[in-house]
Amino acid sequence: MRVVVDLSRCEGYAQCAFLAPDAFRMHGEEALMYDPEPDDAQRERVLRAAAACPVQAILVDRLEGRTAEQDVPVTAASS
Amino acid sequence: MTSADNLRAFRRDGRIVIVGASLAGLRAAESLRDEGFTGSLTMIGDELGEPYDRPPLSKQVLTGWVPAGGTTLPRRRDIDAEWLLGVPASGLDLATDHVRLADGCEVPFDRVLIATGVRARPWFVPSEAELDGVFVVRTREHAEGLQRALAAGPSRVLVIGAGFTGSEIASICRERNIPVTVAELAPYPLVGALGAMIGEVAAEMQRAHGVDLRCGVKVTRLEGDAQGRLRRAHFDDGSTVDADVAVVALGGIRNTEWLQGSGLAAGVWGVACDTGCRAMDLNGLITDDVFVAGDVARCPNPVYEYRLISLEHWANAVEQAEIAAHNMVNGQAERWPHLSIPRFWSIQFGVNIKSVGVPTFADEVVVTQGSVTDHRFVAAYGYQGRVTAAVTFNNAKWLDHYRRLIETAAPFPPPCPTPDQPLDTKPVPVDFPGPTLLAQGATVVVTGHDPGERRVTAAHQHHR
């Protein structure tokens, strides 16, 4: 699955690191490091972390599991 | 046909081309579909593959936790676009409304969004830049190469340039227990962005973590061995450092060369636009069908005396993309201005550094909360008696408070909002080296005398 965190919004509450520790880790007291493509086994935990974020900074892919064929860029311009 | 009919027809089956398929381009495409645009959408990008996120490249990827190919951006929705990837745009013809690609293809549009961003500034001697072990970090491929070099356990890494990216890379080297030398021409790290007071704190942090920090020096030569591998760097003070990896972190170059001859106000500072993200032409006239977003946009901000400001910030790219997309498919009365206060973050040496506002738009700075020695504090920046920016070290929860102070032109220095008032709350001069936002060079010249003759032409500057 794909995740991005708006770190300019993140205030380091660490709820995500508590709920999905394999995908979200604190670096020092306040800084967040995360895995942008966590394993699908993490899915439930990552969704819970996204829902629990006090500043709603975690965006999870909405096309999850059905990446639209027409939206996957495969063609080079020259082809 | 009225303009409202035109707009309806355009929203239904117009042609929009987005040049630049990274964060700003992708978010703009999603917003266009959110806004109900059902016409054709073409994404042009010079890199192959789906749009990916860049901030993790100098952090999670270099620590070895996340693979370089594992930062693909999540999608907010289907965008139903045609993707033309792997070939850069080489020209924009506003007489016939075409984007020209480097392979000769021409792509017609009714409206176009320019989101071509920034590329890494390469080492200034091409033969030295090609040595094995010399890196820049901007793309996935760059990060992958550097990660591999770090994993191989180099004897020493040399980081050239102690801005945010260079400092983050130095931090990761220390985390991986790799000896690292940082060379910076200015007197302190981060000083160009945050001034001397914060620069001093950053220098102390680097040294406390075992970085061999050398400020006020210039790297003059990168020396390779017979196999073309980097082995030594020479400094302008005559000293040398033996290193098998060098990371050139000297900032970026805005991708505007392809717009030369387009008639747009594009140059080394970016592409000028209004707060609605509509591009400006060389004469300072706002165009109707050309929009700009992201790192390449140079947008006025009324809070900062309407100065044109280019920002290489993640949140700025997202916000401008949404504003540009909205304005591309709405009429004059519904247009939105991009008026948000810039926000930025950097993670280094275990500290979360964040800023709000424009720190270079300041004449004084003061620590308003917390303790500098504990690396947990807030510093406020002021310009002529009002708050214009704030920087936090491990104190991000206070940024929003300072954003409101900036938006309301609150008096500087602001009072401490908490009981942890620092002992020394006397503002000091902000002290930026070199040209700052308050003294930017012009990139155009004005010619002609009669109103019908007066024109502006670009004074093309060299990149270095």
Query: Consecutive sets of 10 residues in chain B, 464 residues long: mean pLDDT of each?
Result: 84 98 98 97 96 95 96 96 97 98 97 97 97 97 97 98 96 97 96 93 98 97 97 97 97 96 94 96 95 96 88 95 96 90 94 95 94 94 94 95 92 86 82 58 55 64 44
Task: Show which of B199, B216, B250 is a domain's final residue.
Answer: B250
- Take residue B90 and report the two structure tokens written for it: 């080489």
**Does A70 contact B at CB distance below 8 Å?**
yes
Calculate the average pLDDT of chain A: 86
> Omega of the bond prior to B415 within 30 degrees of 0, cis?
no
DSSP, res A36? S
Helix (H) or strand (E) holding A46: helix A43-52
Using alpha carbons only, how large is chain A's radius of gyration in Å?
Answer: 15
List of chain B residues whose C-beta atoms are within 8 Å of the C-beta of residue A60? 74
CB B294 within 8 A of CB B320: yes
Structural domain harbouring B43: 3-53+72-119+253-334
Å from B80 to nearest chain A CA? 6
In this structure, the answer to whether residues B263 and B406 fall within a common structural domain is no
B185 plus B224 within the same structural domain? yes
Last residue of a domain, one of B191, B223, B250: B250
- Any bridge partners for residue A26, and if so which? A32
**Domain A3-63 in CATH 2.40.30.10:** no
Is the distance from CB of B140 to CB of B71 less than 8 angstroms?
A: yes
Q: Under a CB-based contact definition with an 8 Å cutoff, are residues B268 and B118 in contact? A: no
Tell me, what's the pLDDT at B438? Answer: 46
Q: Does A75 touch chain B (CB under 8 A)?
A: yes
B371 touches A: beta carbon within 8 Å: no
**Domain match, B241 and B191 both:** yes
- For residue B211, tell me if it sits in a domain: yes
Instruction: With CB atoms and an 8 Å threshold, state whether B72 touches A36.
Output: yes
Tens-place pLDDT, residues B97-135: 999 999 999 999 999 999 999 999 999 999 999 999 999
Q: Is residue B278 part of a domain?
A: yes
**Pseudo-torsion of CA B53, B55, B57, B60, nearest 10°?**
-110
Question: Which residues, 6+ apart, have CB-to-CB distance to A59 below 8 Å?
Answer: A3, A4, A5, A6, A50, B74, B76
What value, to the nearest 5°, has the Cα angle with vertex B239 and ends B233 and B245?
20
- Say how many CB pairs under 8 Å bridge A and B: 131
B259-264: long-range pairs with CB below 8 Å, 24+: B259/B91, B259/B92, B259/B114, B260/B458, B260/B460, B261/B91, B262/B91, B262/B92, B262/B93, B262/B94, B263/B94, B264/B92, B264/B94, B264/B290
This model's pTM is above 0.90: yes
Contact A77 B313 (CB under 8 A): no
Give the contacts of B36 (CB within 8 A, at least 6 positions apart).
Answer: B11, B329
Q: Which residues of A touch B315 (CB under 8 A)?
A: 6, 8-9
User: CB-based contact (8 Å) between B171 and chain A?
Assistant: no
* pLDDT computed for residue B42 by the predictor: 98
Sorted by where each begins, the domain ranges of chain A are 3-63
Kindly state whether residues B242 and B259 are assigned to the same domain: no
b/e map of B310-335 (b: 16 or more CB within 10 Å)? bbbbbbbbbbbbbbbbbbbbbeeeee
Domain of residue B316, CATH code: 3.50.50.60
CA distance B311 to B222: 31
On whether both B110 and B130 belong to a single domain, the answer is no
Nearest to B246 by CA among B129, B349, B125: B129
Measured CA distances, B292 to B270, B312, B316, B331 (Å): 10, 14, 12, 17
B232 in the same domain as B151? yes
Chain B residue numbers touching A62 (CB-CB < 8 A): 74-77
Residue B13: the pLDDT is 96
Give pLDDT tens digits for B199-227: 999 999 999 999 999 999 999 999 999 99
Of A50, A60, A65, A66, nearest to A10 by C-alpha is A50
- A1 to chain B, minimum CA–CA distance in Å? 8
Q: Are residues B226 and B273 in the same domain?
A: no
Name the residue with tokens 């016409």. B39
Enumerate the residues of chain B whose CB falls inside 8 A of the CB of residue A68: 78, 80
CB burial of B422-447 (b: ≥16 within 10 Å; e: otherwise) equals beeeebeebbbeeebbeeeeebbeee
- Give the end of a domain, one of B250, B269, B284: B250
Mean pLDDT of all residues in A36-63: 95
Check CB contact under 8 Å for B77 and A62. yes
Q: Looking at the 3D structure of chain B, how many domains does it have?
A: 3
Instruction: Name residue B269's amino acid.
Output: W
Residues of B in contact with A78 (CB under 8 A): 86-87, 103, 105
B108 and B9 in one domain?
yes
Q: Using a pLDDT cut of 90, give the percent of chain B over it.
A: 84
Chain B residues with beta carbon closer than 8 angstroms to that of A56: none
Give B247 to chain A, closest Cα distance, Å. 22
